[in-house]
Structures are given as structure tokens and as C-alpha cells.
């Protein structure tokens, strides 16, 4: 603020290809002209703008009139690996307290996908909460659906991750999420298309702000209706960020697999061999637990899969960083040689 004495803080509430909408109060959003380096499309001079320099929804900017002049430091950031062959990170939301991982208690219900979401969003002061929608439909269809779903998520509950089943269309039911929607808190909704994010948003708002997709009959998926990320002030005084249905959920390489699979890691500690691969080794505590029915084999398979993916992404991240450091050194020595040849300029 010392550098920009005339500027005031405002928060990014919408991000569009052409720029940002920011807000400095609950009823007030206005477009700002962003710094030229924020406007570069991804891939333009690869690696010159990282997600740490480019604002996203939830970020605080310093704004002078209708111009954004600076991006303020983030308290937390939720990221994923971008699709594509080059390593790149994508910001989902910034300055978030809670992530609601939304999943329907219908054909969409998938504990493995929930584990994947949690791996991506956890850490850095962000609290994950699993929200199981369509509890009303599930209950009407089969009394066992909800208890079965809770049983499938028992390890998450044991780790202290809150799991709440709701009818996203019913305000009284959705009030179960109020502990995470106190004044000044920011929560973000993630979950696949049709999980009920827009429905939840509308119910929390008490109005029809978001268009919800009609469910197609045979696959129970909603149509893709949410087109951009937006931050919305709620009547409770919290801020809510809705994200478009995220099909691809690639790790960035910075995730903590051990934290998310502490049950598996604790078992692995008890294996006879330090480097046990839990395949055919004697004295393998992981396989014993699976055989004794104490560890879900699918959860273990997902642990192996996600560990591999995170390790692969971490490797690519390290490579990317080394490449950048090399480029920096090369640029420095080039400008030094130019200085020597043509004099400082
Ligand atoms: N009965 C019932 N229907 C629900 C519930 N949650 C969502 N639905 C319905 O499921 C469909 C999809 O919900 P949406 O809110 O559009 O899903 P979304 O997550 O916003 O989907 P995208 O915008 O594509 O990301 C809609 O027809 C909702 O009415 C619920 O808890 N109970
Ligand atoms: Zn083992």
C-alpha cells in the first residue's frame, strides 16, 4: 500500500477472458483493467506468468480508480495441474477457508473421486468438508444408500474430515453447512457436473441466482451450466465460490499423499521391510489388513494410483523449475556479455 498510496483493496469476484470483476462491498461489483501481464493468454511465452502472479477468484487486488495495480499475497490457494502436455498449474480459488467437496448420493457417488478431490484441495489452512447431496432421493429409493456411503467414507471421518448429507434443495437441510459459513469466511464448492453445486448455491442464497441443469435421464448428470467461477456474498455473511464442473483433476505435485492416506501409511510402517511394495513380500502389514477386511482394497489401489500421479507431477514440477533457473542464468550471462560488448544500456 506504501507503493500505491491512492489504491484501495478489492476482491476478485469474477474472472473472464477479458478481465476481472472486483468488489469492495456486498452489493458492488465493477470491472477493472488488469495489468498487461495478467492478460496474456496461457502459453504465451511459456512460463513467464505463473499462477502466483496472475489473480484468480478470491484474490485481493489493489485498485486505483478502474485499474488494478497489484495482487496482494494469498492466505491460501487451491490449485490443480492443468490439462495438456506441458506442466502448468491452474488456480481454482484463492483465500479460501473451507472447501465443500460436493458429491451426489446417486450414480455420481464415488469414494475414489472424493479421495482425489481431497488430495488436491487439502493443506495450507483449508478445511475440507464432504457434502453428499440428493440425500432425499437416496432415502426415498433405498434406506441403505446413506449408511453404505458413510461406511465407504469411514477413513475420512476418522481423519477428522466432516461429512454431511443434505437435500441441496431444502434450506433447513442445507443449514447443516452453517458452521463453515460464518461472517468473513470463504468457502468454495467443487464437484463434478450435476453434483448439485448450483442447487446448493441457490438454496444458500434463498434465490435463483444460478441456473441449474436438468438431469438427463439415463446418467443422472446435470448439463454443464456453470460457465465461470464467481464469488457470491451469502446472507450469512460468508463468501461462496462456485466452480464449473471439473472433469480433470490432475495433481500439481505439491500434494501430501501421506496426510490423506494416514491409515495406509501407518500400516506400511509395520511392514517387515522398510521398502515393502505391499505386493508379495512376507510380513506385509498392508496386505494383512486388506485380507482381514480392515483396509478397503479399492482405497489402497487409489492410494497407489494417486501416489504415482503426485510423484510424476512432482518430477515434472522439479524439471520445470530447473529449466526456469537455467533460463534465468542464461539470460543473465547473455545480458552481461552484451553489456561487455556494447556497454551498459
Ligand atoms: N432431489 C434433489 N435434487 C438435487 C439435489 N441436488 C441437486 N439436485 C438436482 O440435480 C441436478 C443437478 O444439479 P446442479 O445444481 O445443476 O449441479 P451442478 O453441480 O451445479 O452442475 P454444474 O453446474 O454442471 O457444475 C438439478 O436438477 C438439481 O435440481 C438434492 O439434494 N436433492
Ligand atoms: Zn507391505
Q: Which three cell numbers stand for residue 282?
A: 512376507
Residue 121 alpha carbon to ligand 1 centre in Å: 22
**What does the alpha-carbon distance between residue 22 and residue 58 come to, in Å, rounded to a whole number?**
9
Phi and psi torsions of 75, nearest 5°: -85, -35
Look at residue 320 and tell me if it is in a domain: no
Residues 190 and 99 occupy one common structural domain: yes
Residue 205 alpha carbon to ligand 1 centre in Å: 15
Residues 53 and 162 occupy one common structural domain: no
Alpha carbon nearest to ligand 1 atom 16, residue = 212
The residue whose CB lies within 8 Å of the most ligand 1 atoms, and thus the one to mutate among 135, 138, 164, 213, is 213
Residues 20 and 109 occupy one common structural domain: no
The DSSP bridge partners found for residue 16 are 19
Residues 103 and 172 occupy one common structural domain: yes
Over its length of 345 residues, how does the chain's per-residue pLDDT go in tens digits? 889 999 999 999 998 877 899 999 877 789 998 887 777 655 555 555 577 778 999 999 999 999 999 999 999 999 888 877 778 888 889 999 999 999 999 988 999 999 999 999 887 779 999 999 999 999 899 989 999 999 999 999 999 999 999 999 999 999 999 999 999 999 999 998 889 998 999 999 986 555 454 433 333 433 333 345 689 999 999 999 987 656 678 899 999 999 999 999 999 999 999 999 998 899 999 999 999 999 999 999 999 999 999 999 999 989 888 888 887 787 777 777 888 877 765
Q: How many CB atoms lie within 10 A of CB 53?
A: 11
Evaluate whether 205 touches 181 at the Cβ level (below 8 Å): no
**What does the alpha-carbon distance between residue 257 and residue 304 come to, in Å, rounded to a whole number?**
10
Residues 132 and 229 occupy one common structural domain: yes
- 262-269 and 297-342 helices, crossing angle to 10°: 100
Residue 143 DSSP one-character state = T
The residue whose CB lies within 8 Å of the most ligand 1 atoms, and thus the one to mutate among 168, 191, 224, 248, is 168
**Local structure of 233: helix, strand or coil:** strand
- 284 labeled part of a ligand binding site: yes
Look at residue 68 and tell me if it is in a domain: yes
Q: Which residues contact 117 (CB under 8 A, 6 or more apart)?
A: 101, 128, 190, 191, 249
Domain with 208 in it: 93-242
The DSSP bridge partners found for residue 30 are 22
- 268 labeled part of a ligand binding site: no
Residues 197 and 276 occupy one common structural domain: no
Distances (CA, A) of 63 to 33, 191, 223, 256, 328: 9, 32, 36, 35, 31
Alpha carbon nearest to ligand 1 atom 8, residue = 196
Instruction: For residue 102, give the ligand 1 atom closest to its CA.
Output: 19
Domain CATH for 287: 1.10.40.50
Look at residue 345 and tell me if it is in a domain: no
Instruction: For residue 213, give the ligand 1 atom closest to its CA.
Output: 16
Look at residue 286 and tell me if it is in a domain: yes
Look at residue 215 and tell me if it is in a domain: yes
Residue tagged 513380500 (cell numbers):
281
Residue 282 alpha carbon to ligand 2 centre in Å: 8
Evaluate whether 297 touches 290 at the Cβ level (below 8 Å): yes
* Sign of the C-alpha dihedral computed for residues 108, 112, 116 and 119 taken in this order: positive
Domain CATH for 146: 3.40.50.300
Domain CATH for 48: 2.30.30.140
Residues 213 and 294 occupy one common structural domain: no
**What does the alpha-carbon distance between residue 118 and residue 9 come to, in Å, rounded to a whole number?**
31
Look at residue 3 and tell me if it is in a domain: no
**What does the alpha-carbon distance between residue 127 and residue 162 come to, in Å, rounded to a whole number?**
9
- 278 labeled part of a ligand binding site: yes
Q: What is the total count of domains within the chain? A: 3
Alpha carbon nearest to ligand 1 atom 14, residue = 196
Look at residue 60 and tell me if it is in a domain: yes
Look at residue 179 and tell me if it is in a domain: yes
Please report the ipTM that was assigned to this predicted complex.
0.93
Domain boundary among 42, 73, 104: 73
Instruction: For residue 168, give the ligand 1 atom closest to its CA.
Output: 31
**What does the alpha-carbon distance between residue 240 and residue 204 come to, in Å, rounded to a whole number?**
9
User: Could you give the count of Cα atoms lying within 13 Å of 225 in the half-sphere of its Cβ?
Assistant: 17
Q: Which residues lie with the beta carbon below 6 Å from any ligand 1 atom?
A: 133-134, 136-137, 167-169, 191, 193-199, 212-215, 222, 224-226, 244-245
Residues 285 and 235 occupy one common structural domain: no
Amino acid at each position: 500500500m506504501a507503493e500505491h498510496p491512492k489504491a484501495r483493496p478489492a476482491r476478485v469476484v469474477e474472472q473472464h477472458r477479458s478481465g476481472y470483476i472486483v468488489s469492495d462491498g456486498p452489493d458492488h461489483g465493477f470491472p477493472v483493467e488488469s495489468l498487461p501481464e495478467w492478460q496474456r493468454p496461457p502459453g504465451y511465452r511459456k512460463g513467464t506468468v505463473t499462477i502466483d502472479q496472475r489473480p484468480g477468484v478470491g484474490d485481493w487486488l489493489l485498485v486505483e480508480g478502474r485499474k488494478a495495480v497489484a495482487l496482494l499475497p494469498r492466505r491460501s490457494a487451491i490449485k490443480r495441474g492443468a490439462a495438456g502436455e506441458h506442466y502448468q498449474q491452474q488456480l481454482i480459488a484463492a483465500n479460501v477457508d473451507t472447501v465443500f467437496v460436493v458429491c451426489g448420493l446417486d450414480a455420481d457417488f464415488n469414494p475414489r473421486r472424493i479421495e482425489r478431490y481431497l488430495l488436491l484441495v487439502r493443506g495450507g489452512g483449508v478445511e475440507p468438508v464432504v457434502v453428499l447431496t440428493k440425500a432425499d432421493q437416496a432415502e426415498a429409493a433405498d434406506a441403505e444408500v446413506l449408511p453404505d456411503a458413510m461406511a465407504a467414507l469411514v477413513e475420512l471421518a476418522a481423519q477428522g474430515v466432516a461429512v454431511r448429507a443434505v437435500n441441496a434443495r431444502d434450506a433447513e437441510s442445507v443449514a447443516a453447512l452453517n458452521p463453515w459459513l460464518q461472517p468473513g469466511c470463504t468457502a468454495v464448492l467443487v464437484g463434478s457436473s450435476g453434483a448439485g453445486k448450483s442447487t446448493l448455491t441457490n438454496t444458500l442464497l434463498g434465490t435463483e441466482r444460478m441456473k441449474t441443469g436438468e438431469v438427463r435421464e439415463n446418467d443422472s448428470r446435470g448439463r454443464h451450466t456453470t460457465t465461470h467461477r464467481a464469488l457470491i456474498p451469502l446472507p450469512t455473511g460468508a463468501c461462496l465460490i462456485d466452480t464449473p464442473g471439473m472433469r480433470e483433476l490432475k495433481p500439481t505435485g505439491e500434494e501430501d499423499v501421506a496426510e490423506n492416506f494416514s491409515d495406509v501409511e501407518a500400516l506400511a510402517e509395520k511392514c517387515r521391510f522398510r521398502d515393502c511394495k505391499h505386493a508379495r513380500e512376507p510380513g506385509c502389514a498392508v496386505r494383512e489388513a486388506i485380507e482381514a477386511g480392515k483396509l478397503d482394497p479399492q482405497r489402497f489401489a487409489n492410494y497407489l494410483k494417486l501416489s504415482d500421479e503426485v510423484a510424476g507431477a512432482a518430477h515434472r514440477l522439479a524439471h520445470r523449475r530447473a529449466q526456469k533457473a537455467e533460463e534465468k542464468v542464461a539470460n543473465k550471462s547473455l545480458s552481461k556479455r552484451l553489456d561487455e560488448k556494447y556497454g551498459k544500456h
